[in-house]
Chain A
Amino acid sequence: MTKHILAVDDSLAIRQVVGHTLRSAGYVVSEAGDGEEALALARSTRFDMVLTDLHMPRLDGIGLIEGLRALAHCREVPVIVLTTESSEQMRARGRAAGATGWMVKPFEPRRLLEVAARVLG
């Protein structure tokens, strides 16, 4: 079955690149511009993976992960944090919130597909 990925970033440009990369590899990609929009989508859709930015207006990436983990059908969904800072502190925060992994921006499309393949099998 085709895997459905949710890409969350307040930058349309980044969403387009992420979306384009994943779509060209055959994934279905939905997009959201911030954490709240992402949560609203996640309430009615079961995604196979969520890729999220950290700094976003309204609801940031950490808040989104916490929100997702509070939804019954999203408790197990893999969440990869796309971040420009891979400091220990940032990663620890992501893990504490319940992230599955992280990936640094800028990323090579090849790496993104690697991550997706690892997560989605």
Chain B
Amino acid sequence: MSQFYQVFFDESEEHLAAIEAILLRIDPAAPPAEGIAEIFRAAHSIKGSAATFGFDDMATLTHAMENLLDRVRKGELALQRGMVEAVLAACDVLRAQLDAHRGSAGAADPQAAAVALARLQACGEVPAAPPPQGGHGDGLELNFVLSRVVAGSEVLIDSLFDALGELGEVRTLSRPPADAADGVWTLALRGCAAEERVRAALDLFVEPGTLEIAALAAPSAAAAMQPLPGEEIAADGSYGFFLPAPQPAALDDVPPVSPPASPPVAAEEGGRERTGTGHSIRVGVDKVDQMINLVGELVITRSILQEAANVVDPALAERLLAGLGLLERNTRELQESVMAIRMVPISRVFSRFPRLVRELADSLGKEVELVLAGEHTELDKSVVERVADPLTHLVRNALDHGLEGPQERLAAGKAARGRLSLSARHEGGQIVIEVADDGRGLDRQRVLARARASALPVDEGMSDAELWQLLFLPGFSTAESVSALSGRGVGMDVVRHNVDALGGSIELDSVDGVGTRVVVRLPLTLAIMDGMTVAVGRETYVLPLAQIVESLQVDAEAVHRIGGVARMIRVRGEYLPVVALGERFAVPGAERDWLRAIMVLVEAGGRRAALMVDALLGQQQVVIKSLETHYRRVHGFSAATILGNGEVALIVDVGALVDASRVQAELAA
């Protein structure tokens, strides 16, 4: 059965996410019936599958969840905030159990499961006078000795049964022989009678002090099941038939399928079916990746054909070129369609924040309104997965350090409730994600002081933008105390590193007392990139277009020398370190003369440098091939690609080169 586990894991995860999404939207005062029904169904579904696969821990918890929700659904219980919390807590435990079964985490904590279960059950006990269920079965076992008068009269014994019959279903488990007036009777009473009422009903009949009431021992499934009239139940209670049991012979008399009475109607309904939500298929990511790979190969093959066609006389090859043009368009569309399969809305990541923010705000004693925008903006699945951590960190930072407590806000003339906004949008082939708060903002003086304390080269005249860049340096933090929440040793440097690794960029913008805004720009996909091909000696390299600011040639005046050696160039008043790619990668025949070479200004992690190359060859979309997968990691390069002429070209890791150049420049200075 284990071959079906994966589907169960995926389904359960989706159900859990759906439950959380609904609960976080819900207004306990006016819960939408449809929402409750949906949560109930999700819990029910997990329970059924979990039990089938033998994941009893999950089945137990979802069973309790289902019971609670069923009562809410039927209007027996009013939805309360405590219930929402209890169900959310149970979801967390379920997720841990799911991870444990999947093997991606250690065994789930049984203590946590017990706590979550107790919480769910406690919610169900809110209404007054719950039936004394005793935890086992749903009945009571009564043991007593009849008073002498009653024992001698069948009429009185009958009225005893009548009295009990009003409270539930009575069955005699054992009775003393007729001649033993002081023998013990044992009755089973099923139903929801309260113990007090049973005592009151029996008061007249039993010898004082002999009545003992206990919960009925849990009956076996089959014994507990009373067959309905005309129902046949299997010995172990696992299935049953409503008699008369179907006669296979009779089935053969049924006429074969007759066509639907009115085909047009059926066809119409069929059409409606297809537009329904049920029409999707679940495909492994590896299959999609394989398609993307093949499309990538196709793009390369097309480029190879194009290069070959370029040397043919256009007059002769007119039809060939026309065909290639068509091929290009089709390839591009195919590529876009395949990429679209992997595109998922950023709401996958955003959806975790309402809860995180609420819990964090509660624990910090802050009031925060979270505003989400652009949740439907789509980006590649692999990017979504890797952007979750940096975004979570930014949100935590904003809550922890950015937003003030209600008192401080009121004193500063702001609303007591802080505002945190999270938005996403597409912009020029990139996705732009903004995390903004209206908190206290960054204090220039404190950042400067902290920088001086860390012996960083700063001065009063630095622009805000330059100053804020310092926050991204390893180990730089302006928080007065290391908070339990955002602390944990992960700082903005790690956020920047994560974003850089995705080929993105991060900017921070802050106004003292007004708020802070962090803008993260990411490529839509990690599989394809717009690149600039450059020549260095006889080598061809690719620079990510997104990191190129401009390209230029410098004159002698712009070259800044330190100790007689050319070190930097000055561009519009800014000194930039220069990385000569020919030297860096030891390429024979590369241009050494700074005045004849081309300087490509690049930016990574908010810092700039100039990369010196021989010539710019052109822009093109390149399919990214991982070096680690195909070869091994090479410092200074982030990946490789295959060019139109079939040659392999390395993609320059601009971030690493810029960092290295800064260190060298500082050492030299």
Contact = CB atoms under 8 A, between A and B. Distances in A.
A84 B47 contact: yes
Interface string B477-521: 000000000000000000000000000000000000000000000
Contacts of A77: 254
A44 B238 contact: no
Contact of B239 (A43, A58, A101, A121): A101
B198 interface: no
Interface residues of B, number: 51
A43 B266 contact: yes
A73 B240 contact: no
B273 A37 contact: yes
Interface in B224-243: 225-226, 228, 231, 234, 236-242
A13 interface: yes
Contacts of B453: none
Interface residues of A, number: 54
Given A86-B237, A92-B228, A121-B248, A13 B52 contact: yes
A115 B273 contact: no
Contacts of B52: 13-14, 17, 105-107
Contacts of A17: 1, 4, 52-53
Interface SS majority for chain A? mixed
B41 A57 contact: yes
Contact of A101 (B44, B241, B256): B241
B48 to A, nearest CB: 5
Interface string A62-75: 00000000001100
Contact of B278 (A33, A73, A101, A114): A33
Contact of A40 (B38, B234, B269): B269
Contact of A78 (B246, B257, B269): B246
B251 interface: yes
Nearest to A119: B246
Given A16-B7, A43-B266, A88-B226, A101 B242 contact: yes
Interface string B53-89: 1100001000000000000000000000000000000
The 4 nearest A-B residue pairs measured at CB: A121-B248, A101-B241, A106-B51, A13-B8
Interface of A: 9-14, 16-17, 20, 33-34, 36-37, 40, 43-46, 48, 53, 55-58, 72-73, 76-78, 80, 84, 86, 88, 91-92, 94-95, 99-108, 111, 114-115, 118-121
18 contacts: A9-B48, A11-B11, A12-B11, A13-B52, A14-B52, A17-B52, A34-B278, A36-B276, A40-B273, A44-B257, A45-B257, A46-B257, A57-B41, A95-B228, A100-B241, A100-B242, A111-B238, A121-B249
